[in-house]
């Protein structure tokens, strides 16, 4: 029984992993806030951007959070809501 449960958990993780990798922000470009406004909002959070790019319609950054942890994060360009984040410890 334990082996079946372990196999199920592994298969569930494999199936759900691609969904996280496929982050996409579906916002019409005329509704986006400016990159300058985004950078100001990130700086106000105490974060530092080392790299900025637009990927799959999201603002994507590499940098450091307020605790100086290395991060990669994607944000909705209209609301600046975070849609995905990875910490590199």
**pLDDT score, position 88:** 85
Does residue 6 lie within any of the structural domains? no
Q: Over range 8-21, report the average pLDDT.
A: 43
Angle (CA) 34 39 41, round 5°? 95
72: domain CATH number is: 3.10.450.40
Q: What is the pLDDT of residues 25-75, one digit of tens each?
A: 999 999 999 999 999 999 999 999 999 999 999 999 999 999 999 999 999
Residue range(s) defining the domain that contains residue 52: 24-88
Does residue 9 lie within any of the structural domains? no
**pLDDT score, position 19:** 38
Let me know: does 24 contact 54? Beta carbons within 8 Å.
no
């Amino acid at each position: 029984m334990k082996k079946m449960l372990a196999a199920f958990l592994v298969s569930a993780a494999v199936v759900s992993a691609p969904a996280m990798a496929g982050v996409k922000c579906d916002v019409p470009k005329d509704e986006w806030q400016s990159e300058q406004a985004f950078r100001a909002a990130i700086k106000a959070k105490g974060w530092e951007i080392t790299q900025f790019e637009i990927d799959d319609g999201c603002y994507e950054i590499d940098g450091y959070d307020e605790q100086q942890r290395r991060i990669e994060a994607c944000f909705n360009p209209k609301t600046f809501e975070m849609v995905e984040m990875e910490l590199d410890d």
